[in-house]
């Protein structure tokens, strides 16, 4: 059979309503029509919808990944708009959670794929259920507790995941294919102390760095989902954009010669709840996150009326309630989860929650 020319391929692709939008992507031989159809059947769980997550979501939806579940606990703040590419000032004014705002934008970009928003805290009790149908797990987070949790689940269930991080002008990325490449705990046995673990809240971050890291992650995702495993970069990719440095670090020995607590010893401490934070004192943000031990159902109109009687300024929508309780701000979610801004002390945050919402058990 005579091979079609690129022009003939484009003409054929553009006659197929399902494939037409991906015609230029399919002209790239390693993907082609076969790879594109694999992408359309793929299911990805994206954990975290901040700087990396928004860029990753946009790239994957535009590439035609058929199902994307976005899991994020947070809501949009003004400082997010500098680097979180899917959000704008209208989303901020609407008090939308990140996952839902992203879903709305992404469905306008590509109506032929399915995007699901899950506004939840990811923890050891729910991560397996949230990711049960995913072919690949994708890191859009900003903390190692969650990354170690993702790593445990990926190794236990033998599913690939792609790690990414961006802080200041530095970026890191690495695809992890359990039992073929080192896992994250092969490289990092324990979470580094806060003094050695800068975050966007302490060291800042440049938006172009976020874009570069997400692009590297997304390329590796496309390789994995299209079955091009021989092309996967199995090294740790590191970039210092400000000082014009890019390196690929060989890490294979950490798997071959190590005795990793996760992939060699089969101990899943984070997935089993033996390690990791149960509540987070977000000191750099002067805020405390209070996740409930069991899911509740909060009646926003009732809570709003109670708070207004107390003289608090309250706004709410189906996704969250925001109350100004001077000098604090309480952000409440339908499952009972809350963020208390204006304090870094858990006891103070719990006292505020108990007074205005009810007893807290975290």
H/E segment holding residue 13: helix 6-14
**280: pLDDT strictly greater than 60:** no
List of domains in the chain = 31-256 (3.40.50.720), 280-356 (3.30.310)
Q: Is the peptide bond before 327 cis (omega within 30 degrees of 0)?
A: yes
Which pLDDT does position 294 carry in this prediction? 67
Mean pLDDT value of segment 177-203: 88
**C-alpha distances out from residue 339 to 75, 149, 169, Å:** 10, 21, 28
| % the chain with pLDDT above 70 | 95
Which pLDDT does position 283 carry in this prediction? 45
Structure confidence at residue 32 as a pLDDT band (50, 70, 90): very high
Structure confidence at residue 4 as a pLDDT band (50, 70, 90): confident
H/E segment holding residue 24: helix 23-26
Least confident interval from 40-49, 107-116, 141-150, 286-295: 286-295
User: Which tops the pLDDT comparison, 340 or 10?
Assistant: 340
**C-alpha distances out from residue 168 to 43, 141, 162, Å:** 31, 15, 20
Least confident interval from 72-76, 336-340, 357-361: 357-361
**342: pLDDT strictly greater than 50:** yes
Structure confidence at residue 58 as a pLDDT band (50, 70, 90): very high
Which pLDDT does position 47 carry in this prediction? 99
DSSP letter, residue 319? S
Mean pLDDT value of segment 153-173: 98
Q: Tell me what percent of the chain is helix, strand and coil, each rounded to the nearest 5.
A: 40, 20, 40
| % the chain with pLDDT above 90 | 80
Close Cβ partners of 166 (under 8 Å, ≥ 6 residues apart): 51, 52, 172, 200, 205, 209, 210, 213, 214
Which pLDDT does position 362 carry in this prediction? 45
Q: What pLDDT digit, counting tens, does each position of 79-123 carry?
A: 999 999 999 999 999 999 999 999 999 999 999 999 999 999 899
**310: pLDDT strictly greater than 70:** yes
Least confident interval from 82-86, 96-100, 148-152, 331-335: 331-335
Alpha helix ranges (H) inside 158-206: 184-187, 200-203
Structure confidence at residue 14 as a pLDDT band (50, 70, 90): confident
Which pLDDT does position 278 carry in this prediction? 53
Which pLDDT does position 247 carry in this prediction? 97
**C-alpha distances out from residue 164 to 48, 99, 174, Å:** 11, 19, 7
**pTM over cut 0.85:** yes
Helices and strands (DSSP H and E) totals, the chain: 14, 14
Q: What pLDDT digit, counting tens, does each position of 231-256 carry?
A: 999 999 999 999 999 999 999 999 99
Which pLDDT does position 330 carry in this prediction? 95
User: Which tops the pLDDT comparison, 302 or 13?
Assistant: 302
Mean pLDDT value of segment 205-220: 98
Mean pLDDT value of segment 55-80: 97
Which pLDDT does position 110 carry in this prediction? 98
Which pLDDT does position 21 carry in this prediction? 96
**200: pLDDT strictly greater than 70:** yes
Which pLDDT does position 270 carry in this prediction? 96
């Amino acid at each position: 059979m005579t091979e079609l020319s690129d022009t003939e391929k484009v003409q054929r692709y553009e006659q197929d309503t399902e494939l037409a939008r991906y015609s230029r992507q399919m002209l790239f031989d390693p993907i082609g029509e076969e790879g594109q159809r694999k992408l359309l059947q793929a299911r990805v769980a994206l954990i975290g919808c901040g700087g990396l997550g928004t860029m990753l979501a946009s790239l994957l939806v535009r590439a035609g990944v058929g199902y994307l579940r976005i899991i994020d606990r947070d809501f949009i703040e003004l400082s997010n708009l500098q680097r979180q590419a899917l959000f704008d000032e209208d989303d901020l004014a609407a008090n939308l959670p990140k996952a839902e705002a992203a879903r709305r934008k992404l469905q306008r970009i590509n109506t032929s794929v399915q995007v699901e928003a899950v506004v939840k805290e990811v923890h050891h009790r729910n991560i397996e259920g949230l990711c049960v149908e995913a072919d690949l797990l994708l890191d859009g987070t900003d903390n190692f507790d969650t990354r170690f949790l993702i790593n445990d689940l990926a190794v236990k269930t033998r599913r690939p995941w792609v790690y990414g991080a961006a802080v200041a002008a530095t970026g890191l990325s690495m695809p992890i294919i359990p039992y073929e490449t080192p896992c994250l705990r092969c490289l990092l046995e324990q979470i580094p102390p806060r003094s050695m673990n800068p975050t966007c809240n302490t060291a800042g971050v440049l938006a172009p760095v976020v874009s570069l890291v997400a692009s590297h992650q997304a390329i590796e995702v496309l390789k994995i989902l299209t079955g091009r495993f021989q092309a996967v970069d199995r090294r740790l990719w590191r970039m210092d954009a400000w000082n014009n440095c890019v390196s690929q670090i060989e890490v294979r020995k950490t798997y071959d010669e190590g005795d990793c607590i996760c992939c060699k010893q089969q101990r899943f401490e984070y997935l089993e709840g033996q390690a990791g934070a149960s509540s987070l004192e977000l000191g750099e943000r002067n805020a405390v996150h209070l996740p409930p031990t069991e899911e509740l159902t909060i009646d926003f109109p009732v809570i709003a009326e109670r708070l207004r009687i107390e003289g608090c300024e309250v706004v709410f929508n189906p996704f969250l309630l925001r109350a100004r309780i001077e000098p604090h701000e309480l952000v409440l979610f339908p499952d009972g989860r809350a963020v208390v801004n204006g304090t870094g002390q858990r006891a103070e945050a719990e006292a505020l929650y108990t007074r205005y919402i009810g007893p807290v058990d975290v």
